[in-house]
Amino acid sequence: MPMIIELVIVVVVMLVAFFLVFLAMFMLAMFLSPIERSLSKMIWDMKAPKQASATPAPVKTGSFKDFSKKH
C-alpha cells in the first residue's frame, strides 16, 4: 500500500476518533444537565436568606461624601 494512502487513512481514523470522543462527552453533558440543574437549584435555595417579614427593609440613601468616608 502506498505511503500516502496509509497517511490519509491514519488521519481520517484519528479525526473520526476525535469527533466520536467529542460526541460522547457532549451526550454525557446533555444527559447530566438536568441533574446538575436540580443540584444547583437546591444549593442556591439553601444559601438564600429567609425573609422574616413581608415588607422589605427601608433603603438608606446617602451622599457620595458619606460613601467616600466609609470606603
Residue 70 predicted with pLDDT over 70: no
Average of per-residue pLDDT across 46-67: 66
Domain ranges of the chain: 1-45
C-alpha cell at 63: 451622599
SS3 content of the chain, % helix, strand, coil (to 5): 75, 0, 25
Long-range contacts of 54-58 (CB under 8 A, 24+ apart): none
Q: Is the dihedral of CA 40, 41, 46, 47 positive or negative?
A: positive
Q: Which residue has the higher pLDDT, 33 or 70?
A: 33
* Rg of the chain (C-alpha set): 29
Q: What is the pLDDT of residues 4-15, one digit of tens each?
A: 999 999 999 999
pLDDT band (50, 70, 90) for residue 45: confident
- Write down the mean pLDDT value for the chain: 84
Residue 55 predicted with pLDDT over 80: no
Cα 46 from Cα 24, distance rounded (Å): 33
User: What pLDDT is attached to residue 43?
Assistant: 87
